[in-house]
Amino acid sequence: MTVLVVNAGSSSLKVAVFDDNLTERLSGRVTEIGSLAARVEAGPLQGARTVPDHAAALALVFEAMEEAGLPVASLTAAAHRVVHGGARLAAPCRLTEAVVAEVEACIPLAPLHNPANLTAIRALARLAPHLPQYASFDTAFHATMPEVEIRYALPPEAEALGLRRYGFHGISYASIVRKVQENALLAFPKRLLAFHLGNGASACAILEGRSVATTMGYSPLDGLTMGTRTGSIDGNAVLRLAEVHGVTGAGRILNRESGLLGLGGASDMRALRKAGTPEARFALDHFCHWAIRHAGGLIAAMGGLDAVVFTGGIGENDAGIRAGILRGLRFAGAEFDESANAAGRPDLHPPGARVAIWIVPCEEERQIAMEAMQLRSGGA
């Protein structure tokens, strides 16, 4: 069984090919699709190319696969990351006309993401019409959250617009659960606090392997301070921004000009540390402070804490951010080994610690491939 995993953005396409041992055989990306600066990095194909659309990008991916000895005919399935599955698409599934229609119906909930996901799905269907396609949804892992966590305190007519908490980064959190189950020497921790920290950042309360609360809500804007997103902000502050700048301008400020960029002048942690300005240092402090503040609520939602996991580009690679957050979680019993953290070792807790602390590499593409293989083996 060989699966092509596709992760499509509005002007980019990331791919990976996995065999039946979940070994990655090829990976690549096409960036700046539709512009004169399009670039391909896929196996033996490297460099600038003319890439007018996602179909052309996929055709280049197929060419790279052919040159790498992985022809399209050898594929068993293709699997897509779809950001928003809404309330009904709450588990990985095969893509049928009805499922694609549901993904399309979720466009108002994820206008920046779902259209790109659909573009790749349809392009692949044209290029390889007989190849079964599957989807994993970033929102699906959080379908287990209780209703008291999901619902905003809104009247029914507002809720009918789909205004509720969905949560995101679910594929990453599902991967964390799988990897901890595979690697933990003892029983799976009952109360696990997971941080997915990258340009987009969130945290999740995982009780007995299931999501019971998370920081992102109706959209990926809510929760932690992020690279360019505000994180949690008062609704009336949003209304004021819309009053002054219009809805489009307010959306741009909240999603693209805020967060670490708005506070410190850069969205990248390394750039902030290099800058060393008071504003940059404050941005780093803000990131850690609000991660700790939200973590407190997530710990309360689980009734305590047994383990902490860090994943994502920042979570896996920034020892300073991990240390800043963990120092703030000492009240919950999270003691960590400073030298292990500085070295980036997988286990950060000292021997005999009550709360386990791990770094778990993000494996979203492998998780998507595994879910597609499970569905395919089950006859879907």
**Which residues are identified as catalytic?**
138
On whether the CB atoms of residues 30 and 13 are closer than 8 A, the answer is: yes
CA dist 202 and 135 (Å) reads 22
Place of tokens 């209780």: 146
Q: What is the 3-state secondary structure (H, E, C) of 195-259?
A: EEECCCEEEEEEECCEEEEECCCCCCCCCCCCCCCCCCCCHHHHHHHHHHHHHHHHHHHHHHCCH
Residue 82: closest CA among 67, 95, 73:
95
Largest CA distance in the chain: 58
CA dist 340 and 312 (Å) reads 18
Backbone torsions φ then ψ of 244, nearest 5 degrees: -80, -40
On whether the CB atoms of residues 232 and 290 are closer than 8 A, the answer is: yes
| CA atoms within a 13 Å half-sphere pointing along the CA-CB vector of 147 | 1
| CA atoms within a 13 Å half-sphere pointing along the CA-CB vector of 286 | 25
Q: 3-class DSSP state for residue 191?
A: strand
Report which DSSP code applies to 336: -
Instruction: Name the pairing type of β-strands 307-311 and 356-359.
Output: parallel
CA dist 314 and 317 (Å) reads 5
Instruction: Name the pairing type of β-strands 201-207 and 210-214.
Output: antiparallel
Report which DSSP code applies to 144: G
